[in-house]
Structure 1
Amino acid sequence: MTGVSLLTYADRFGGGMAGLRQLLDGPFRHFAGVHILPFFVPYDGADTGFDPVDHTAVDPRLGSWDDVRRLAGNREVTADLIVNHVSASSAEFTDWLARGEQSPYDGMFLTYDRVFPDGGREAEITAFYRPRPGLPFTPYRGGDGRRRLVWTTFMPTQVDLDVSHPAAWDYLRGVLTALRDGGVTTVRLDAVGYAVKTPGSDSFMTEHTLAFVRDVADLVRQSGMRVLVEVHAHYSQQLAIAPLVDLVYDFALAPLMLHSLGTGTVDRLAHWFDIRPVNAVTVLDTHDGIGIIDAGPAGETAGLIDHSEMAAIFDRAAEATSGHSQLASVIPAWMSLPHQINATYFSVLGGEVDTYLLARAVQFFLPGEPQVYYVGLLGGLDDTELFARTGQGRDVNRHFYTAGEIETAMASEVTRGVLELVRLRSAHPAFAGEFAFRVLTGSALELSWRNGADSAVLAVDVASRTFRIDATGMPPMSRPARTES
């Protein structure tokens, strides 16, 4: 895929698979691909589909596998392989709870004693990294009355798989077969960084995790699909995992753009452009919020920005959102800062159209495969009402759009500007050529693509928050708009 992809929920943008396809075949036809966030049974569980009861079935309220195959007829389709956990209501887990060792799924789920057969000391247990407050265990009682402590890294109803056991691998193979047969072309390994628990470490993206990624990536490729890995972590982890898979996320770009726009400097961006993996899906926003941890330090290991600079990004976000981002963002166990900002990217930039389109222009000019989140495409601000109803911080960035709201957004300056960038990146021949960048001043950068006689050049100044695009065969695009002499 050389164009731009859309990241969306089927129910929140189109109302289902058929409505989503209508939008992608119509006003949003310039997107070369779509990543449909979990559409399995149920798509609206406690973690909005990331807690599948049946990972092999399309929720009939959204459509069917035939609908997914129709979507895949003229575009890339990405879907999630949730490798770390399943729902506590899944047939596999409930059968194991009821039947224990007689269940064919015995060994599929990770229990406390599988990791600590001789018991765990306090220091070992508290060393595990968890993106939520508290410890990663939930007590369950089996049909024989036996009490078990089951690993639940994310939520009590999301039970972790024991990825070292053949039963878990059989389960993953079955899901991959369903995805492939359903028309999916790229598989995202969700939450893979948490899948392997290694006593004596924080168990996040260890050497054992990398070995698991190699194995599961081979399994995906054997099924004829590409592999995208999702890891929110120190940037060195992205560099380490990039050679093992087809695609990684450039999660560092989003916080580095916020740092640059907040400080009027481009040195940190330029350094990242020098070392970032090129096989990256470039993002500014996702369904999970804006990851700041991805640019920060890890323990004694320096980051692309330091701890105080991370804190400053959170402070500026709080100011731009009138303090709401502080309410919505969760501080993980043993941490002093959240690992992400729960807010829309447009809200964090104060709803400033020119600044927002500048950030998108930089995203679209970087090597890799740009991806736009549906809320970002429509210029969405924080959905504080949804957050107030659910209490889930990430819901501020997960609005349910009506047909009327989509139509209104399509006429907005933000959506028209983003779609212009989508068309440029998708269609201009320069982007099939060579990329280069250079620092113009302490606050300005130039990013360029050249392919024979074709070129596309982006000049940005983060201090004045202005940019200009000059592409062969097209009139210049600049923000703020200027009258050419």
Structure 2
Amino acid sequence: MTQSPLQECSREIIGKKLLDHLAVIYPNEDGDRLAQQLMHVMRLDEDCQSPLPHKNLWDETDVVVITYGNTILSEKQHPLKALHHFLKTHFTMLINSVHILPFFPYSSDDGFAVVDYKQVHPKLGDWSDVLRISTDFHLMADLVINHCSAQHEWFINFQQGKSPGADYFFVVDPNENLSGVVRPRTTPLLRAVSNGSSSKCVWCTFGHDQIDLDFRNPQVLLEMVDIIRLYLDMGVRIFRLDAVAFLWKKIGTSCINLEETHEIVRLLRTLIEHADPNTVIITETNIPNRENLSYFGNANEAHWIYNFSLPPLLVNSLVSGNCRHLKNWLMSMPPAQNGTTYFNFIASHDGIGLRPVEGLLSDDEQEALIQTMENFGGQISWRALDDGNKKPYEINISLFDALRGTTAGEDEWQIDRFICAHAIMLALEGVPAFYLHSLVGTTNDYQRMLEHGHNRAINRRQWQESELNQKLKDPTTHHFKVFGQLRHLIKLRREQPAFHPNATQFTLHLGDQIFAFWRQSMNRRQSIFCLNNISDAPQTIPLSSLNLIGTDCWKDLVSDRIYEDMLGTVTLEPYQTLWITNRW
């Protein structure tokens, strides 16, 4: 990431900004006192910096890898050390940022039920390991802000009526009408617990081991800001606000995307960027596309937002052989303002979300996609509806297996289809992020899924470093082939100004079997026409349809082929990608 120039800042300026936020969130609290507390916790009363607005802290060289802290194992060292060694061995000068999923002590949900926010899980390593990784890579970490573990000290204190924690959790009368609450799970929303001498019901958006915090209490906000300050000190430079859309609750509403939630994101943005102007906030909001876009705010909320609609739409295009919906979605996406951009991913530790394609794919199309994924070994996770029924929430499958074939069944194009998917992700507007398992072509892990008892474990394999290194060296393995081709594409991407995350992008219309778009560098000197055959049959198009400037020399970066006859044609083999440019 690039560095931000600074402008003059003062305690008065930051104090005024905080008061504006606090007036929305806590209109009945002493705003001056709370603002001073927040500044003290974040140490802004000692050192305050201010970035220029609408400054891009990223460029075409930024590529992220997503991984658990224990994805890479070694008999010789702790997992975080093994991960660091693996990253330095294979990804130096290739990937410059790493998202290590929750590396704290936890009780469930593979880290997202945090028992202690301020410690590294002892089975992974310690803070010195985290700091070492942050010296070689931009470090993204999760702020699991909506809830904590039922085993956290705060919740234990809540049950005993002690502080801190006695008033940290969202308590609700079970007789309230909660039918309008949006749920991402099928488990009961409320959990009855003893609280001192009485019994109360606490709110559990994701499950009964993950108890929702009550941000109506300003002390909860102060606790989270204290945690943010620690993470900054430990080298974190990209903050992922986990499940932040559910943060604020109001009885009688959907309890998702409320105005107070957005204002808290704005407040955290103000605090973080004045503590370190080179820090990025990303919101994790697995919700319908229009709602997701709202977390950009007016370039004053998230710097990055997840492009949650991309994975299901792209997989659907590649297995159906038709990119109509993908094109329509791309045309509907507004260009991100400078100072913000999209976070593009097509695989992650979670599944392929279906909520982001609500209104984009019909029920029949979603059902066809689900059936195809089940045919390739995938599992389905569900969420509860208002009427008590349930609806598919996400598809759990490794991306490599998801692209085994098409709706017609498995075929010989699995690797080509898989590489095509990543070539599209790499070329789109935004910062690309690779799930580590995708980079090495990991397949469905049925044994881990059975052992852990939940569907998401199917795509959370743990590799022995020595075994994986051997597979990556063996030319006969698909792991070697996948990693080699992806390395080639990543290197190419990092050298192209037209692939800057905020460079111009236009959708091209070359039929439903070719997903195509045009990128232009911010100085307008480089153009790249990105052509992707998303079908299992060759596709031929006239070069004249691209309107290539005849006085320029054009070359496909992927194959090194030169195009001289502007009146000729080009044929794309099944799942072939072309990056045709006038500058190389």
Shorter chain as normaliser: what TM range?
0.7 to 0.9
Q: Structure 1 residue aligned with 2:98, among 15, 34, 37?
A: 34
- Per the alignment, residue 272 of structure 2 pairs with 220
8 Å Cα contact 2:489-2:558 kept in structure 1: no
Name the SS of the counterpart of 2:384 in structure 1: coil
Query: 406-415 or 75-84: which moved more?
Result: 406-415
Distance across 1 between alignment mates of 2:393 and 2:282: 21
8 Å Cα contact 1:430-1:455 kept in structure 2: yes
Q: 1:268 to 1:480 in 2, by over 3 A?
A: closer
8 Å Cα contact 1:11-1:62 kept in structure 2: yes
Identity of matched residues, %: 26
Provide Cα deviations, 1:299-336, integer angstroms capped at 9, x if missing partner.
xxxx1222222222111111222xx424xx33435454
Structure 2 counterpart of 1:6, one-letter code: V
Once the two structures are TM-superposed, the CA of residue 293 in structure 1 deviates from its matched residue by: 1.3
Distance across 2 between alignment mates of 1:362 and 1:467: 17
- Per the alignment, residue 201 of structure 1 pairs with 253
Structure 1 counterpart of 2:182, one-letter code: Y
8 Å Cα contact 1:347-1:382 kept in structure 2: yes
Where do 1:454-473 residues align within 5 Å?
A: 454-464=526-536, 471=556
Distance across 2 between alignment mates of 1:465 and 1:7: 33
- Per the alignment, residue 475 of structure 1 pairs with 560
Once the two structures are TM-superposed, the CA of residue 403 in structure 1 deviates from its matched residue by: 1.3
Name the SS of the counterpart of 2:532 in structure 1: strand
Structure index of larger Rg:
2
Once the two structures are TM-superposed, the CA of residue 134 in structure 1 deviates from its matched residue by: 3.2
Name the SS of the counterpart of 1:248 in structure 2: strand
- Per the alignment, residue 443 of structure 1 pairs with 513
Query: Do residues 349 (structure 1) and 409 (structure 2) align?
Result: no
- Per the alignment, residue 285 of structure 2 pairs with 231
- Per the alignment, residue 106 of structure 1 pairs with 166
Structure 1 counterpart of 2:464, one-letter code: T
8 Å Cα contact 1:455-1:472 kept in structure 2: no
Structure 1 counterpart of 2:560, one-letter code: P
8 Å Cα contact 1:459-1:467 kept in structure 2: no
Q: 1:232 to 1:25 in 2, by over 3 A?
A: same
8 Å Cα contact 1:311-1:337 kept in structure 2: no
Query: Do residues 7 (structure 1) and 66 (structure 2) align?
Result: yes
Provide Cα deviations, 1:243-291, integer angstroms capped at 9, x if missing partner.
3210100010111112222332222212222232541110101111111
- Per the alignment, residue 134 of structure 1 pairs with 187
Distance across 2 between alignment mates of 1:26 and 1:476: 31
Distance across 1 between alignment mates of 2:253 and 2:135: 45
- Per the alignment, residue 242 of structure 1 pairs with 296
8 Å Cα contact 1:18-1:63 kept in structure 2: yes
Where do 1:208-357 residues align within 5 Å?
A: 208-224=260-276, 225-243=279-297, 244-276=301-333, 278=336, 279-296=341-358, 303-321=359-377, 324-326=378-380, 329-333=381-385, 334=388, 336-350=390-404, 352-357=414-419
Structure 2 counterpart of 1:447, one-letter code: F
- Per the alignment, residue 76 of structure 1 pairs with 138
- Per the alignment, residue 300 of structure 1 pairs with none
Name the SS of the counterpart of 2:70 in structure 1: coil
Distance across 2 between alignment mates of 1:204 and 1:336: 19
8 Å Cα contact 1:76-1:184 kept in structure 2: yes
Provide Cα deviations, 1:328-358, integer angstroms capped at 9, x if missing partner.
x334354543111011111111171111111
Q: 1:466 to 1:56 in 2, by over 3 A?
A: farther
Provide Cα deviations, 1:343-395, integer angstroms capped at 9, x if missing partner.
11111111711111111111111011000111111111111111111211100
Query: 387-396 or 71-80: which moved more?
Result: 71-80
8 Å Cα contact 1:228-1:247 kept in structure 2: yes
Name the SS of the counterpart of 1:52 in structure 2: coil
- Per the alignment, residue 95 of structure 1 pairs with 157
- Per the alignment, residue 5 of structure 2 pairs with none
Distance across 1 between alignment mates of 2:557 and 2:401: 33
8 Å Cα contact 1:290-1:341 kept in structure 2: yes
- Per the alignment, residue 299 of structure 1 pairs with none
8 Å Cα contact 2:331-2:506 kept in structure 1: no
Once the two structures are TM-superposed, the CA of residue 14 in structure 1 deviates from its matched residue by: 4.7
Provide Cα deviations, 1:179-200, integer angstroms capped at 9, x if missing partner.
1000000100001111112222
Q: 1:178 to 1:363 in 2, by over 3 A?
A: same
8 Å Cα contact 2:183-2:383 kept in structure 1: no
Query: Do residues 172 (structure 1) and 224 (structure 2) align?
Result: yes
Once the two structures are TM-superposed, the CA of residue 207 in structure 1 deviates from its matched residue by: 3.4
Where do 1:135-174 residues align within 5 Å?
A: 135-142=188-195, 144-174=196-226
Distance across 2 between alignment mates of 1:201 and 1:248: 24
Distance across 2 between alignment mates of 1:335 and 1:213: 32
Structure 1 counterpart of 2:398, one-letter code: T
8 Å Cα contact 2:535-2:574 kept in structure 1: no
- Per the alignment, residue 484 of structure 2 pairs with 416
8 Å Cα contact 1:457-1:470 kept in structure 2: no
Distance across 2 between alignment mates of 1:107 and 1:312: 47
- Per the alignment, residue 31 of structure 2 pairs with none
Distance across 2 between alignment mates of 1:453 and 1:223: 36
Q: 1:246 to 1:318 in 2, by over 3 A?
A: same
Q: Structure 2 residue aligned with 1:401, among 447, 463, 486?
A: 463
Provide Cα deviations, 1:116-165, integer angstroms capped at 9, x if missing partner.
8xx41xxx2232122221321112223x3321211121121211100111
8 Å Cα contact 1:132-1:332 kept in structure 2: yes
Once the two structures are TM-superposed, the CA of residue 447 in structure 1 deviates from its matched residue by: 2.9
In structure 1, runs of 5+ residues without a counterpart are 297-302
Aligned residues: 461
8 Å Cα contact 2:331-2:507 kept in structure 1: no
Distance across 2 between alignment mates of 1:69 and 1:436: 40
Q: 1:471 to 1:156 in 2, by over 3 A?
A: same
8 Å Cα contact 1:365-1:448 kept in structure 2: no
Structure 2 counterpart of 1:54, one-letter code: D
Distance across 2 between alignment mates of 1:481 and 1:111: 53
Once the two structures are TM-superposed, the CA of residue 220 in structure 1 deviates from its matched residue by: 3.3
8 Å Cα contact 1:265-1:462 kept in structure 2: yes
